[in-house]
Homo-oligomer: A and B are copies of this chain.
């Protein structure tokens, strides 16, 4: 199965057209496009344009409001709750992160919990908005349940990612962006295409037995929390995923745990949802709220250089700083284009046809 390579600008044009056709205004369609494609640029292919058809299906099912009235519904000097009005998370999340940044300008830090939203793309985009303001950025979101807590076989949590972005001086920023599971769904999809098994410790079948079937989620199986099993501290991954769920949804009034709304539009909404939509949580901390920004950045440079030079096990594989692989992808793909799997191209063709968009595939 071959990949086709597209220039970033081509995919930007197509994505913008799709968001426009479903009713986003110019500003929102531009922003949603930039956020969505930041995943493709950064090499997180599962969260980028491959999901565009999924967003459109949510809109068709009336689960996404293309012209939301996003607003602050509660606030203090350092906090806010934002109601996303069922908008695209790709638009709601940057609004909320900007609120966090503005609050940090005024009182050192800003913390925003969001309800009534939808999937927000990659956690990293939003957290990284803080960097240009000399702030540390944080971003997390809950997601539809695919993960079983330690000792359970039931889907109770999403892959609930966390991103922490920390500015440096001469060195590139530290950007840790990760699901709180051992493996994210995107890694299973890669193995499915190759018809390969997973390592033990990624997934469990519906009875709770450890298995290596990359298709097990379609058979009622679950993803495992970071740590894999009790002996390797899966209770820590379960705790992390829970913290993300509570900060994103219980604090804001979104729907939490097994009641988080599903991304695939064909999956029925959970019964008796205890809150509204999906939830996110954002933070921004001015580094000069702690010490002079130049001091901080000088020491971050020192931190990064020291860790980069930590003694490697194999001389050909040096230690990586969080954010290095994604930055390498971005540089390479801006230059050489973005490869799309043929199944993604097929989806995009049907989308263009349905929405009457002309695009040369």
Q: Are B250 and A303 in contact (CB under 8 A)?
A: yes
Q: Are B313 and A174 in contact (CB under 8 A)?
A: no
A226 to B245, CA, bound (A): 20
Known contacts A78-B289, A176-B243, A257-B303; 9 further A-B pairs (Cβ under 8 A): A74-B290, A76-B108, A149-B307, A151-B320, A153-B312, A153-B313, A156-B307, A199-B231, A245-B303
Residue of B nearest to A183 (CB): B233
Q: Does A263 contact B (CB under 8 A)?
A: no
Q: Does A274 contact B (CB under 8 A)?
A: yes
A313 to B178, CA, bound (A): 27
**Which interface residue of A78, A274, A320 has the most chain B CB atoms within 10 A?**
A78
Q: Are A232 and B232 in contact (CB under 8 A)?
A: yes
| Residue-wise interface mask of A (243-271) relative to B, using a CB-CB cutoff of 8 A (1 in contact, 0 not) | 10110001111001110000000000000
**Least Cβ–Cβ distance between A224 and chain B, in angstroms:** 9
Within 8 A of B (CB), among A310-326: 310-314, 317-320, 322
Q: Collect the chain B residues with CB atoms within 8 Å of residue A150's CB.
A: 319-320
A240 to B140, CA, bound (A): 14
Residues of A within 8 A of B (CB): 74, 76-79, 81, 106-109, 111, 113, 148-154, 156, 164, 166, 174, 176, 178, 180, 182-183, 199, 201-202, 207-208, 226-228, 231-233, 235-240, 242-243, 245-246, 250-253, 256-258, 274-275, 285-287, 289-291, 295-296, 299-300, 302-303, 306-307, 310-314, 317-320, 322
Q: Are A317 and B178 in contact (CB under 8 A)?
A: no
Q: Are B152 and A319 in contact (CB under 8 A)?
A: yes
Q: Are B252 and A290 in contact (CB under 8 A)?
A: yes
Our pick among B109, B246, B291, B307 for the contact of A242 (Cβ within 8 Å) is B307
**Least Cβ–Cβ distance between A148 and chain B, in angstroms:** 7
A77 to B300, CA, bound (A): 24
A295 to B73, CA, bound (A): 15
Q: Collect the chain B residues with CB atoms within 8 Å of residue A274's CB.
A: 299, 302
Our pick among B300, B311, B322 for the contact of A235 (Cβ within 8 Å) is B322
Q: Collect the chain B residues with CB atoms within 8 Å of residue A164's CB.
A: 239, 243
Q: Are B76 and A289 in contact (CB under 8 A)?
A: yes
Our pick among B250, B251, B287, B311 for the contact of A251 (Cβ within 8 Å) is B287
Our pick among B151, B201, B290, B311 for the contact of A313 (Cβ within 8 Å) is B151
Q: Are B76 and A299 in contact (CB under 8 A)?
A: no
Q: Which 8 A-B pairs have the closest CB atoms?
A: A76-B108, A208-B313, A176-B239, A77-B107, A79-B108, A154-B311, A79-B289, A78-B108
A178 to B295, CA, bound (A): 30
A332 to B50, CA, bound (A): 53
**Least Cβ–Cβ distance between A312 and chain B, in angstroms:** 6
Q: Are A81 and B291 in contact (CB under 8 A)?
A: yes
Q: Collect the chain B residues with CB atoms within 8 Å of residue A296's CB.
A: 250-251
Q: Are A148 and B310 in contact (CB under 8 A)?
A: yes
13 contacts across the A-B interface (CB closer than 8 A): A76-B286, A79-B108, A108-B111, A109-B111, A151-B317, A153-B313, A164-B239, A166-B243, A178-B236, A182-B232, A202-B232, A235-B322, A239-B322
Q: Collect the chain B residues with CB atoms within 8 Å of residue A317's CB.
A: 151
Q: Are A152 and B312 in contact (CB under 8 A)?
A: yes
Q: Are B275 and A299 in contact (CB under 8 A)?
A: yes
Our pick among B153, B201, B299, B318 for the contact of A151 (Cβ within 8 Å) is B318
